[in-house]
Amino acid sequence: MPGWRASAEFAMERQFALIELLADGRLHSGEVIARHLGVTRAAVWKALKKLVEEFGLELESERGRGYRLRIPLELLNGERIRSALSDAGRERLAALNIHRRIDSTNAELMRLASAGIPSGTACLAEQQTAGRGRRGRTWVSPFGVNLYLSLLWRYPLAPAALGGASLAVGAVLADMLHGLGAEGLALKWPNDLLWRRRKLAGLLLEVAGESQGPCHLVVGVGLNLRMGAGQGREIDQPWTTLTEVLGERAVGRNQLAGHLLEALSQALERYGREGLEPFLERWRAYDAYLGEPVGLAIGDQVIAGRHAGIAADGSLQLDTPTGRRAFQAGEVSLRPLESTQA
């Protein structure tokens, strides 16, 4: 019913207003919160409880002084993101759309692509309710602590020409973070960024278009920044955050989003001109499992062998008992095996 929808939307706006008030991590009294939200003191506790239950935010309280977030939030801000871009980067960025909550930034751009939005349109969100990883996995997306970013790029090429784009994007992501001081990064074919064998970021690339071109590509990046153990409890593999990687050198969330958009837009533009070749050596320098025994899962089958590097077309080369075989991105997943299984 329209009245109910309006009421629900108003309640959600009030929740976001509360998050914006508390984002600084300072103490705010119940009286200040009530006045800010335009509610009674009795309603303040209900609103605070909802922050914990619905948004997964951790609150602290001090008797007689008020409430605060245990970990302050740096909410996404378009002006601050654009200020981190070079002049050329701002020219490449056609539009910057920021959502408080969305199902998936990739899904949003894939929906809008058919409506003709321009190449260089970016979509970011504070939270995803249906974030997606590769092979249909869920991407855990708690509110305000990580980066969920997607970028649309259009090409006159056939979709098949973009088969190596995930490697190009992975290489520039690793390079960008290395430039900010991140040491020990590694790439797991075809689209995971690791630190000490724990997942730091993942990529989801989706392409659509005519069989002979043109086509459009949506690059999605999920980068763990400050996620707490409780917020990441649903992740089914070892993971880490950029805060752990960088320590005291940690970079602000908006500045990092700007650096990422700069690197992605530059790489996607270059890929359209030169293909995968300029990015191959950069990717190989971060190769996590080169020379190691691995298992490639294809459906229910696992093919054991030794990781022999990346071919010129971006395929994974695997030395097996029957000889060297190549596997294309999107068909397999890479899992390290114990050396005794090689």
Enumerate the active-site residues: 134, 199, 335
Distance CA 45, CA 36 (A): 14
Distance (Å) of CA 232 to CA 23, 158, 225, 228, 240: 20, 38, 11, 6, 10
Strands 95-102 and 121-128: parallel
- Do 89 and 120 form a contact (C-beta atoms < 8 A)? no
Cβ(72)–Cβ(23) below 8 Å: yes
**Nearest partner of 335 among 301, 293, 299, judged by Cα:** 293
Query: How does 296-318 read in b/e, with b if 16+ C-beta sit within 10 Å?
Result: beeeeeeeebbbbbbeeebbbbb
